[in-house]
Structure 1
């Protein structure tokens, strides 16, 4: 891409659905994004447009801009997977369950559309650049309970690590931790169990599987 997107095109990119990258805009705007390699037109009806991996990178390329937009996004109800430790952890309400189910189905569709062979058993580029959110979504979609604000309370916590393609998953209940491992493996992640040298606390390291 030789030229940056115009302001109007940038607004279309920024307004894409968080997980699937589905775009809304005029036909001229969408066609221009396709020409620049930032979007593609789905071959099946209704022929919606979606961000390509390059389009996702453009949207995620300005951390300061994302931080400024975050309060507005939360106010508008943009979906975010629960990573554990939130002040207001999600309850099992039907509205939240529908949101999680819809986000997971959208992620599987993104895998199908962007994978070389249309498979949905391997994480896509979006997941590799949003490791914590992707792993948390897989866990929440499978029915695991995110931890609340109590640091010693039950529930999973997904956190970034110093490793570039791995997240740490902690859960004080050993049986629940094993279930988290099984869920992530079934969702296309490589998982290994570890223990803290000083405390012996068990945790998981999870990375998106490539093949």
Structure 2
């Protein structure tokens, strides 16, 4: 289990801007939060520091449960951590209130990352992190919009990598669900096309992050 933040670090996290997650603190405090995956340093001047989704989870959690929320996040530097977008598979998806809050926090953090790393500050199209993590990014957009990842009952979406550059495949058990996923991804800034698998005749989506 990841160690909880120190009392001083917790004060810095709790004092973050409630909307943007912008942090104020000493260079040592901020560097320590970055090292733990709870904050990141904006790449452009004035190089402010902001909470990652994991940092937001720490702020939202009571102190006694903060340790369970700590860990790396979707924001750079990307690494394995507590939060993982559900891509659909054999596991039974978690749909409890804790998961809903976690997904919401991750999605808000990703929108903030778009705002800060897209050159024009746009939040309506994917950023560089999403292009480098296509499957996770598409799955997060779907889960954040309320779509259910596939479990053992074979219902819900599945997101898979493809040989095509900057494209993922999205599968769903029926055309209605598939088109609902397409609408969600288009609204999240992805280009989406519907295709038919030649051998099985199953319908699926090819989705790519929109650049403009």
Which of the five TM-score ranges fits, normalised by the shorter chain?
0.5 to 0.7
For structure 2, the residue ranges without an aligned partner over 5 or more in a row are 1-19, 35-39, 53-74
Paired residues of 2:42 and 2:116 also in contact (CA < 8 A): no
Three-state SS of the structure 2 residue aligned to 1:107 is helix
Partner of 1:101: 104
Q: Compute the TM-score of the two structures, normalised by the length of structure 1.
A: 0.67
Partner of 2:189: 188
> For 1:95-132, what per-residue CA distance to the aligned partner results, in whole angstroms no more than 9, with x for missing partners?
11111111111100100011111110010011000000
Comparing 141-150 with 131-140, which one deviates more in the overlay?
141-150
Partner of 1:84: 88
For residue 43 of structure 1, report the CA deviation from its aligned partner: 7.3
Q: Structure 2 CA distance, aligned partners of 1:158 and 1:209? A: 17
**Structure 1 segment 49-198 matched on structure 2, within 5 A:** 49=50, 56=76, 59=77, 70=80, 73=81, 78-91=82-95, 93-150=96-153, 153-198=154-199
Q: How many residues align?
A: 162
Give the 4+ runs in structure 1 shifted more than 6 A: 22-26, 41-44
Paired residues of 1:157 and 1:170 also in contact (CA < 8 A): yes
Q: Structure 2 CA distance, aligned partners of 1:149 and 1:86? A: 5
For residue 149 of structure 1, report the CA deviation from its aligned partner: 3.4
For structure 1, the residue ranges without an aligned partner over 5 or more in a row are 1-19, 61-65
For residue 87 of structure 1, report the CA deviation from its aligned partner: 1.8
Q: Structure 2 CA distance, aligned partners of 1:141 and 1:94? A: 13
Q: CA RMSD in A?
A: 3.2
Q: Compute the TM-score of the two structures, normalised by the length of structure 2.
A: 0.67
Describe the shift of the 1:158–1:23 C-alpha distance in structure 2 as closer, same or farther (beyond 3 A): farther
Partner of 2:64: none
